[in-house]
Structure 1
Amino acid sequence: MAVCLRCRVLALLVLALLVHGSVQSCAEFRDGQAGGVVTLCSGNEDKPPIADAGADVVTRAGEVVMLNGIESWDDKNITKYEWTLNSGNQSVRMEKTHFVDQCRLSNLYPGVYRFRLLVTDSAGQSDTASVTVLVLTQEQAEGHTSSVRCERNQD
């Protein structure tokens, strides 16, 4: 099937735009004389990732806490998860685990800690999310975890 020169040139132009991500739809070129049709469609636009550092955590001093970014999302591929301490006692130990999205926290003292998760995708796009870790003293933890007692009348 022969395709006109004009259609070929337009197709190459559209292809160049598709490669650079400037066109996000389909383009159809017809050659009225030869009856040829060229249709080019762009792929999906690569969207930036969405970081999710998980729910805030309440724990007690001396406990180990695991942070994870497992709920982070990207339409292609997240290639990097990076945890940093934004605020709180600098003596906290932050260790990577065998899960790429996870961070193990230890040496936690009573106080409020704020951690930031930076996720980066295969296109170099990134997003951040934060999580707060509240570390209680033993006395605070006992009060925080005590349950409310309900008694039933035996009348």
Structure 2
Amino acid sequence: MSRRKTRPRTSPAAAPAVTSGSPCPCGLAAEYGACCGRFHTGTGGTAPTAELLMRSRYSAFVVRDEAYLLRTWEPGTRPETVDFDPGLRWKGLEIEATTEGTPFHRTGTVTFTARYVHGGEPGAMRERSRFTRHEGAWVYVDGDVTEEHG
């Protein structure tokens, strides 16, 4: 998930309260601490598949974990910072398709729709994200936003 549009730099609003025991924002039936939170803290190693990396990156956008997002971005396409829009709240993730991206692959894609509310208006963003292995771990390379409406 890129959301790399240029916007004026503003101080991010407080991230939504997500605790270790909260439902994981990625949509899997697990608590945040046992799901994406373990990747964010590093206690669960690295995501073993491109889909799990996608889910953990979505959750990192929800909780505004810039360090994790930058750490899981391919160095050649990684921005210097992540610009969180203080008026945007992520509301749900739906994985639509995956290609490759298993522990046995070097590359993979994940197509997803992420729902959000921005300035009180609901919207959705659809992206086909590309992933690769870097030093053995899955990283986000880039993505094509094929649809955005609000």
Q: The TM-score by the shorter chain falls in which range? A: under 0.3
Mark the structure with the bigger radius of gyration. 1
Q: TM-score, normalised on structure 2?
A: 0.28
Whose helix fraction is larger, Structure 1's or Structure 2's? 2
